[in-house]
Copies of this chain bind each other. A is one copy, B any other.
């Protein structure tokens, strides 16, 4: 494009942007929240009758049962492909379990550690782009994060292996399926290298399988048997695996899970048992009664897909129509999960988010997908299509495309 053509484009897009501002709309595609229609799928949970006793005879209304009810653990053991003895059911947030494990490791000695992590300078490997709430835990605890660029099947493993060889590197964040935000699926070879690579004896991977069942297409890979792989590689304690019902039933009102080696689970419980007398077993039994079994969960996830897939198609279509072939943006085409990652012209992501804000469209802040909110290229924007209605989403995506073009033309015109 010549400068004149660019100027024309800028003018045209600026006028579209001005229209948006004038319209004074209010659209929000910041967070991966289920929509009300998705939540309605599990409406039965709001009134289902919960039995007094669990299958093992315990009264779910009383204290105790730190490891959670066998029946809800069995469902997720099946779904994740782990042994039921290696999974525990907790309260309403897997993020809390992730936080607590890190917090316990800071204050106490995780096995393999010579002293609590809080008394050392430690580092975490942070594949980028990644999940802002993972990074926030490390930032909050003052743990340095070393970013590693994501590739097609996971992060650059040569770099990860080189970093893990440093004994001060103690942890790594992983979203192995439909990664937040780029939708990447870790392949078996990446996983094998992760569990096999030499690392500090107290090195752990936070394997957050938040989207393991959240398919958008018929290609529905099974979760990798990461605990067995770690065991076979001679590092049985390397992985903490997480899941929850937050994007299956209700968000923040469900059941979260931790799967790991017996040693790791015992270590977690030795601390969690000081913190609390046990999880909310009534809610665990409510969920087990409602979901019934692994197939019950899979059937529910098919209904989520029916609601979500058309929204991802809208994003794809509008970005394609408005930005395809321009060379100023590329985006992911996820086959599952909750996000589309939009990479815009280097140096313009913050400007796009600011322009969108002026136009009444709330986007996740630029940089959110990077440690300390620092995207060195200022190019990555996370789009969350799940919550708005299809009409709102289409309007928002059209607006975003306009902002991308305005910012790009501004930048290219210098």
**Which A residues lie at the B interface, using CB under 8 A?**
31, 33-34, 36, 39, 42-43, 45-52, 59-64, 91-93, 95-96, 99-100, 103, 106-108, 118, 133, 136-137, 140-141, 246, 250-253, 271, 274-283
Contact = CB atoms under 8 A, between A and B. Distances in A.
Max chain B Cβ within 10 angstroms of own Cβ: one of A91, A136, A271? A91
Q: Interface SS of chain A: helix, strand, loop or mixed?
A: loop
Given A49-B47, A271-B140, A276-B95, A250 B282 contact: yes
A129 to B, nearest CB: 19
21 contacts: A33-B62, A33-B63, A39-B59, A43-B52, A46-B52, A61-B251, A62-B250, A93-B275, A93-B276, A93-B277, A95-B276, A100-B275, A107-B141, A133-B274, A140-B271, A140-B274, A251-B277, A252-B278, A252-B280, A280-B283, A283-B283
A95 B91 CA distance: 14
A111 to B, nearest CB: 16
A370 to B, nearest CB: 17
Contact of A280 (B140, B141, B280): B280
Contact of A274 (B48, B60, B99, B250): B99
Max chain B Cβ within 10 angstroms of own Cβ: one of A133, A137, A277? A277
A36 B59 contact: yes
Contacts of A118: 107, 118
Nearest to A277: B252
How many identical chains are in the complex? 2
A383 B370 CA distance: 55
A175 to B, nearest CB: 16
Contact of A251 (B36, B62, B137): B62
A52 B36 CA distance: 10
B62 A34 contact: yes
Nearest to A116: B118
A288 to B, nearest CB: 14
A36 to B, nearest CB: 6
The 3 A-B pairs of least Cβ separation, nearest first, read A253-B282, A47-B49, A61-B250
A137 B274 contact: yes
A228 to B, nearest CB: 30
B95 A275 contact: yes
A139 B36 CA distance: 45
A46 B49 contact: yes
Nearest to A282: B253
Nearest to A35: B62
Contacts of A51: 46
Contacts of A31: 63
A274 B96 CA distance: 8
Contact of A276 (B42, B96, B140, B274): B96
A28 to B, nearest CB: 12
Contacts of A46: 49-52, 61, 282
A264 to B, nearest CB: 18
Contacts of A34: 62
Contact of A62 (B62, B252, B277): B252
Given A36-B59, A95-B275, 17 more contacts: A33-B62, A34-B62, A39-B59, A39-B62, A42-B61, A43-B52, A45-B282, A46-B51, A63-B246, A93-B275, A96-B276, A100-B275, A107-B118, A107-B141, A133-B277, A251-B277, A280-B283
A238 B86 CA distance: 42
Nearest to A107: B106
A64 B39 CA distance: 15
Nearest to A49: B47
Contacts of A279: 92, 252
A88 B26 CA distance: 30
Contact of A92 (B36, B39, B136, B280): B280
B52 A50 contact: no
A171 to B, nearest CB: 16
